[in-house]
Chains A and B, each alone.
Chain A
Amino acid sequence: MRELIRLTPMTSLSRDDVAKLAGLARIEMSDEELVNMANEFTVILDAVARVQEVAGADVQPTSHPLPLRNIFRPDVVVPSLTPEEALSGAPAQEEQRFRVPQILGEE
């Protein structure tokens, strides 16, 4: 198994890099979490960066195990959830709609 954890130092992430990614991913994180994750990522990224060793320009990427094509179905109405069912898990609702916090700023 020694080969699998062979470290080829390539990339590391700083606390601020992780903070930026956490912002993009919409996850609030404490300073301690950011620092810990940055440290862990140095090791994890070293390990996963190995994919670059064999990913030559001549290799086609595979995004999915099946040869997928668009699948069409006739445009017919089929039973679906009632408004009550669709709203059954809503954290908040109003007038048969999802009530969400303010999306646009005040100004």
Chain B
Amino acid sequence: MIRNNASEMAAKLAAGEITSVALTQAHLDRIAAVDTDVHAFLHIDTEGALAQAAAVDAKRAKGAKLSPLAGVPLALKDVMAQKGIPTTCGSKILEGWRPPYDSTVVANLKKNDIVILGKTNMDEFAMGSSTENSAYGPTHNPWDLTRIPGGSGGGSSAALAAFEAPLAIGTDTGGSIRQPAAVTGTVGVKPTYGGVSRYGLVAFSSSLDQAGPCARTVLDAALLHEAIAGHDPKDATSINAPVPQVVNAAKSGDVKGMKIGVVKELNGDGYQAGVRARFEESLELLAKAGAEIVEVSAPNFEYALAAYYLIAPSECSSNLARFDAMRYGLRVGDVDGASAESVMNLTREVGFGKEVKRRIILGTYALSSGYYDAYYGSAQKVRTLITQDFTKAFEKADVLVSPTCPTTAFKIGEKANDPLAMYLNDIATIPVNMAGIGGMSLPSGLADEDGLPVGFQIMSPVMKDDRMYSVGATLEAALLSKWGAPLLDKAPIMGGVR
């Protein structure tokens, strides 16, 4: 039952073949069996999930009209506030904090009767590409437990690949949904910035952060996308426009006559041979399906990484100032006579991990007087140039494509002491966040040299998210008929459950 896709589970629930309680229990059992090895979850809400499942079953028994994913379980990235449920963001500074409110994403999940199994592991405050920066220990890639599951949303991607949940929520600031999807053979979508409310998403870099759906198929991602998306008055940056018709696109979209632009700068040197081979193969399949493949150039993308590592730390240094030990979270050194300042200093010393401190300090520097123009100001200009590159590219193509990451999953510990090498992982995903457009990663096969999953990235213009779903669904179908079975069938079966 847990090997099904979310849409198959939904169909069985609707037909009365299974109950949500049984389905939820099957996933809880699976988590109990394999999560000691995978460590995808930071918190499992057994009681809450089963109660939610029982409530859906009761509604269904009464003949109520339910949403398409009602009763299907989901894993929630621990950066999303859920009322009464521990929300740590992978940080010691929030250990034990239980939010007094629901984020809009959580409210939407509940409204759609999607069962929340628990909270997934992540790099602390979503800063990282490997989930090694979690204060609660790393998550392991189900394809090879010695390797990273991507980051920052490695808990969500690993939960999907290990069949601990058929759906998950991620957030993507520079690739934190798409890169984990790529290295675990799953699907992850960063919607257009403003497409999904950020209310209750603990902020890292407000102008880049975007929540989105993670799943094992393009259609499942689309169903979850429509469940969580839409205008929210509680988020002033949420777009007040109809949600793109992504489910229709995933069901019946095709690529005939569509122009697909290959971004010249996001390929070639530095990209692993197996990554390039799978990318070329996917392009051929799309061409065979009727798309016209064109080459586009985005000359300023080579500066995207540098600009990102100024903009994101700058915004984070401001956003993370809220963790001041006064109103919630950790407080250290509050002894008689201690000043508020010394309590703040000590709390933030103990509460934040190395990468978070590194970025706060870098951001503080980039914003400091005398350096502002040279660093933050210049990075903002690069952002303009990148957006212009996208605008020009979208004049020549309906969607743009690239490999999602330069390499397959690396070993845990391999890049832990080399921040720049770690940052390079996000080279192909970052431009999307800079421009606020949509991006998807779906599996394109395994690299010949290491047998690990490779991701294919599709980028679509602002609020044209349906286009990436059309292309993604077409490519997924073509790959599936080539492989004969879903890619995840090739993953090692963990825990002996089939």
Contact = CB atoms under 8 A, between A and B. Distances in A.
| A and B: bona fide binding partners | yes
Given A47-B306, A65-B193, A5 B331 contact: no
Nearest to B348: A27
A68 B360 contact: no
Contacts of A51: 303, 306-307, 310, 375, 378-379, 381-382
Contact of B361 (A1, A22, A47, A61): A22
Interface string A55-67: 1100111111110
A28 B349 CA distance: 5
B345 A43 contact: no
Nearest to B406: A1
A77 interface: no
A89 B327 CA distance: 7
A64 B348 CA distance: 28
A55 to B, nearest CB: 4
A4 B270 contact: yes
Contact of B306 (A37, A50, A81): A50
Contacts of A53: 303
B377 A55 contact: yes
A63 B346 CA distance: 32
B317 A81 contact: no
B361 A68 contact: no
A90 B328 contact: yes
Given A4-B270, A52-B374, A81 B384 contact: no
Contacts of A54: 300, 303, 381-382, 385
Interface in A59-96: 59-66, 68, 71, 73, 81, 85-86, 88-92
B167 to A, nearest CB: 27
B337 interface: yes
Contact of B327 (A5, A63, A66, A98): A98
Number of chain A interface residues as a range = 35 or more
Nearest to A24: B364
B368 interface: yes
Given A27-B357, A89-B328, A63 B207 contact: yes
B130 to A, nearest CB: 17
Contacts of B325: 91
Interface stretch (B67-75, B138-146, B419-427): B419-427
B194 A66 contact: yes
A100 B364 CA distance: 25
Nearest to A58: B381
Given A1-B269, A60-B384, A44 B309 contact: yes
Contacts of A59: 381, 384-385
B245 to A, nearest CB: 21
B100 A62 contact: no
A28 to B, nearest CB: 4
B436 A98 contact: no
Contacts of B382: 51, 54-55
Contact of B378 (A18, A55, A65, A89): A55
B327 to A, nearest CB: 5
Contact of A1 (B270, B364, B375): B270
Interface string B164-198: 00000000000000000000000000000110000
B419 A40 contact: yes
B384 A21 contact: no
Contact of A2 (B269, B309, B348, B436): B269
B381 A48 contact: no
B324 interface: yes
Contacts of B303: 50-51, 53-54
A89 B207 CA distance: 27
Interface string B61-82: 0000000000000000000000
A89 to B, nearest CB: 3
Interface of A: 1-5, 13, 18, 21-22, 24-29, 33, 37, 40-41, 43-44, 47-56, 59-66, 68, 71, 73, 81, 85-86, 88-92, 98, 100-103, 105
28 contacts: A13-B365, A21-B364, A22-B361, A24-B364, A27-B352, A28-B349, A29-B349, A29-B357, A41-B365, A44-B420, A47-B305, A48-B310, A49-B374, A52-B378, A54-B303, A59-B381, A59-B384, A61-B381, A62-B387, A63-B380, A65-B462, A66-B436, A85-B101, A89-B98, A90-B327, A91-B328, A91-B334, A102-B338
Given A18-B361, A21-B361, A27-B348, 11 more contacts: A1-B424, A4-B427, A26-B345, A44-B358, A51-B307, A53-B303, A59-B381, A90-B327, A90-B328, A103-B339, A103-B340
